[in-house]
Amino acid sequence: MQTPLSQLECWLGALPAAEALTAYQAWWETTGRVLSETVDRAGTPWLRQYNRFGERVDEVIMPAGYSALIQEGYKHGVVWRAIEEEDWETSFALGYITSYYDPGVYCPHTVSLATAVMLRKYGTPELQARYLVPMLRRDGTAWQGATWMTEIGGGSDLGTYVQTVATPEGNAYRLTGSKYFCSNVNAEVAVVAARPEGAPAGVRGLALFLLPRYREDGCLNYFIRRIKDKIGTRAVVTGEVDLHESQAYLLGSAEVGIYLILEVLNLSRVANSVGSVALIQRAVDEAESFAQQRIAFGKPLAQQPLMRAQIARWRETLGAAFALAWEAVRLLRSVWAQTPPYSPTYHLFRLITHLAKYWTAEQAVQAAKWCMEVHGGAGVLAEYGVERLLREAMVLPIWEGGSHRQMLDALEVMQRRQAHQLLLEHLQPYAEPTELQHWRERIDAYLKQPPEAQEEALETLIPPLAAWVGNTLRATLRAG
């Protein structure tokens, strides 16, 4: 049975910053595990809205040790390595190790990274000096970021449901509206979607803004309405936010705002895929370890034919899922600096990212469920921690666009950008020729159907396509 780091090294060979990765994994084993259990068992954090003098403070109260749990990843470089050194491999390797132990912790890291990337690409030098520099601290005091798009109507149809209005004021804007699903609500800075005053309806009228926690005079810049009670992922605080002429700064150009919003989402989708694979490994490791020691009908469960076959099948799925997710990482590394209009490689990145986010998240849920089944009755008892894997997994198909959305977006990039042709060319060095031809013909025939028929039958295309791409990409891994 592999540790998360040894599994990464098995697949990828020698990793950059190996010493830092080793130290980070050791921290989780000696300290992080206990802190993670403490935060999870404490349940939903609570919100102190007023101080004793009746002043609005909106202070999120977390269990002892929470700051150390979150800050360790920032210290080792989950954000600064990508921004300062363009070392995306180490950033995502840190995320993989984090998610093996606590996928919820990787959410604050992910949205902080996305915020930092947007500042790095589209922020003015003044904004970078004020907000990006503190996010790159390595001393345990790093500022956190957040990405808030969703409003009360829902998150997928942003063009309809984003009602927040941005009114220009000097070199800044004033935002008025509400955000409904605000992950990492205790962050120091967030990037948010809003509609500039007078902008057209639909997604073309949206823009991306940088929203600080505090105004320049030190007062609260927005108000936290409440903290949400979730099934799991308690290491990330989720709340609702009210904006009342909140001070914000436009990132990039308003005319291409929707593309910047999608850049944020796609980066987080890559991280979601990496985190999903790490959870799969944890579930398979826990199941196999238990099955090797559990005696049933006279011999270890792991030696019985059906269980042996299931473990082997999940190990194969784990390799395919990682290959698919890590291909998204590799492509992100090559295209992250691009701005609209994007190159064909960027659209290939989009397609692989949608396939990876969809398939790895769905497999993570099934792996967690199977791990519980292997443990029998013990699998549902909170005292053993196995049930927590399922609680943590359930959000993975939902975050940053649900599985339904990922399938539709994959179809859209094939229809409009012919990204499937780029995908098949990309896979040609690794794919069996007859399989490659089969998928070329299958997708071409599929796209000749009327649009409504394509959407209706999408579950017959995307799941097997994602699985085939993942299995084909296993050839890119050192261990095959």
Q: What is the mean pLDDT of residues 55-61?
A: 97
Angstrom distance (rounded) from CA 213 to CA 182: 13
Please identify which residue in the block is written with the tokens 């809003």. Answer: 194
pLDDT, residue 319, reads 98
DSSP letters, 362-400, are HHHHHHHHHHHHHTGGGGG-GGGSHHHHHHHHTTTTTTT
pLDDT, residue 155, reads 82
Report which residue type is found at 160.
Answer: T
CATH topology of domain 4-144: Butyryl-Coa Dehydrogenase, subunit A; domain 1 (1.10.540)
Cβ within 8 Å of residue 356, ≥6 positions away: 269, 270, 273, 324, 325, 327, 328, 466, 470
10 Å CB burial of residue 416 (0-12, 13-18, 19+) is exposed
pLDDT digits (tens, 9 = 90+) for 104-125: 999 999 999 999 999 999 999 9
Q: What is the mean pLDDT of residues 356-362?
A: 98
Q: What is the mean pLDDT of residues 228-237?
A: 94
pLDDT digits (tens, 9 = 90+) for 453-479: 999 999 999 999 999 999 999 999 986
Tell me the sheet residues that pair with 214.
220
- For the chain, domain boundaries: 4-144, 146-254, 258-476
| 463: preceding bond cis by omega (within 30 degrees) | no
pLDDT digits (tens, 9 = 90+) for 8-27: 999 999 999 999 999 999 99
Would you say the pTM of this structure is higher than 0.75? yes
Q: What is the mean pLDDT of residues 389-395?
A: 97
Angstrom distance (rounded) from CA 360 to CA 368: 12
pLDDT digits (tens, 9 = 90+) for 278-315: 999 999 999 999 999 999 999 999 999 999 999 999 99
Angstrom distance (rounded) from CA 93 to CA 9: 10
Confidence label for 220 from pLDDT (cuts 50, 70 and 90): very high
% of residues, the chain, pLDDT over 90: 98
Long-range contacts of 379-383 (CB under 8 A, 24+ apart): none
423-433 residues labelled b (16+ CB within 10 A) or e (exposed): bbebbeeebee
What's the token pair of residue 19?
Answer: 């010493």
pLDDT, residue 479, reads 64
pLDDT digits (tens, 9 = 90+) for 135-175: 999 999 999 999 999 999 988 899 999 999 999 999 999 99
CATH class of 146-254: mainly beta
What's the token pair of residue 115?
Answer: 């915020």
pLDDT, residue 285, reads 98
pLDDT, residue 1, reads 75
pLDDT, residue 154, reads 83
Angstrom distance (rounded) from CA 47 to CA 64: 15
Q: What is the mean pLDDT of residues 239-266?
A: 98
pLDDT digits (tens, 9 = 90+) for 69-109: 999 999 999 999 999 999 999 999 999 999 999 999 999 99
Q: Is the pLDDT of residue 480 over 60?
A: no
Count of residues making up the chain: 480
Cβ within 8 Å of residue 399, ≥6 positions away: 107, 183, 268, 272
CATH code of the domain occupying 258-476: 1.20.140.10
Give the torsion sign (CA, 37, 43, 48, 49): positive
